[in-house]
Structure 1
Amino acid sequence: MPSSTSSSRGPRPGRVPLLAAVAVTVAAGSLAAVGLNGGPTASAAPTVPASSAPSVTDSSAVSSSASRSGQWQRTPVPVTKGDLTAIAALGDKQAWAVGYRLKSATALEAVALRWDGTSWAQESTLPENSFPQALTVRSADDIWAVGTATEHWDGKTWTTRPLDRDPAGRVVPEAVTTTADGQAWTVGRAMARSIKDSVPAIQTWDGRSWHRQPLPDVGKGELNGVTAVAPDDVWAVGASYAVDEKSPQTALLLHWDGTTWKRVDVDGPAAGHAWLGGITAFAADDIWAVGGRTSGSAERPYTVHWDGAKWSAAETPDVADGRLRAVGRAGGGELWAVGGKGAAPVALRWNRQDKRWDRAAGPGVVVRGFATVPKSAGLWVAGIAEQGDLVPAITRMKG
Structure 2
Amino acid sequence: MPSRISSSPRRSARLPLLAALAITLVTGSLALAGQSGDPTTPATPTAATHPAPSLDSTRQSEQWQATPVPVGKGDLTAVAALSHTQAWAVGYRLNSATSLKAIALRWDGKTWTQESTLPDNSFPQALAVRSAGDIWAVGSASAHWDGTKWTAYPLDNDPAGHVVPDAVTTTSDGKAWTVGRAMGRSIKDGVPAIQSWDGKAWHRQSLPDVGKGELSGITAVAPNDIWAVGAAYAADENAKQSALLLHFDGKNWQRMTAPGPGTTHNWLGAVTALSANDIWAVGGSTTTGGTERPLAVHWDGSAWSTATTPDVADGRLRAVGETGDGDLWTLGGKGAAPVALRWNAQHSQWEKSTAPDLVVRSFTTVPHSADLWATGIARDGDLIPTITHLKG
TM-score by length of 1: 0.88
- Quote the residue 1:34 is aligned against: 23
Distance 1:292 1:378 in 2: 25
Q: How many residues align?
A: 365
Give the letter aligned to residue 162 of structure 1. Answer: P
Give the letter aligned to residue 9 of structure 2. Answer: P
Specify the SS of the correspondent of 2:270: strand
Distance 1:370 1:14 in 2: 20
- Of 121, 143, 147, 1:151 maps to 143
- Quote the residue 1:265 is aligned against: 257
Distance 1:250 1:179 in 2: 28
Percent identity over the alignment is: 66
Indicate conservation of the 8 Å contact 1:15/1:224, yes or no: no
Specify the SS of the correspondent of 1:276: strand
1:137-183 superposed Cα distances (whole Å, 9 cap, x missing partner):
00000000000110000000100011111111110000000012221
- Of 17, 23, 47, 2:17 maps to 23
After superposing the two structures, state which structure 1 stretch, 173-182 or 274-283, moved more: 173-182
Distance 1:210 1:36 in 2: 27
Question: Compared with structure 1, are the counterparts of its residues 15 and 396 closer, same or farther at alpha carbon in structure 2 (3 Å cutoff)?
Answer: farther
Indicate conservation of the 8 Å contact 2:3/2:23, yes or no: no
- Of 245, 248, 256, 1:253 maps to 245
2:347 equivalent to 1:354: yes
Distance 1:143 1:307 in 2: 30
Indicate conservation of the 8 Å contact 1:279/1:288, yes or no: yes
- Quote the residue 1:92 is aligned against: 84
Distance 2:312 2:2 in 1: 18
Give the letter aligned to residue 189 of structure 1. Answer: R
Distance 1:3 1:314 in 2: 29
- Quote the residue 2:39 is aligned against: none
Indicate conservation of the 8 Å contact 1:13/1:277, yes or no: no
2:353 equivalent to 1:387: no
Report how far residue 69 of structure 1 moved: 6.3
Give the letter aligned to residue 309 of structure 2. Answer: T
Question: Compared with structure 1, are the counterparts of its residues 364 and 32 closer, same or farther at alpha carbon in structure 2 (3 Å cutoff)?
Answer: closer
Distance 1:14 1:121 in 2: 32
Indicate conservation of the 8 Å contact 1:13/1:275, yes or no: no
Report how far residue 224 of structure 1 moved: 0.3
Report how far residue 397 of structure 1 moved: 0.7
Indicate conservation of the 8 Å contact 1:229/1:284, yes or no: yes
Specify the SS of the correspondent of 1:266: coil
Question: Compared with structure 1, are the counterparts of its residues 206 and 271 closer, same or farther at alpha carbon in structure 2 (3 Å cutoff)?
Answer: same
Map residues 206-355 of structure 1 onto 2, 5 A cutoff.
Answer: 206-267=198-259, 269-295=261-287, 296-355=289-348
- Quote the residue 1:14 is aligned against: 12
2:366 equivalent to 1:373: yes
TM-score by length of 2: 0.89
Give the letter aligned to residue 202 of structure 1. Answer: I
- Of 54, 57, 71, 2:63 maps to 71
Give the letter aligned to residue 309 of structure 1. Answer: S
Distance 2:391 2:147 in 1: 27
Indicate conservation of the 8 Å contact 2:281/2:296, yes or no: yes
- Quote the residue 1:125 is aligned against: 117
Map residues 157-176 of structure 1 onto 2, 5 A cutoff.
Answer: 157-176=149-168
Indicate conservation of the 8 Å contact 1:292/1:324, yes or no: yes
Give the letter aligned to residue 22 of structure 2. Answer: A
RMSD over aligned Cα atoms: 1.9
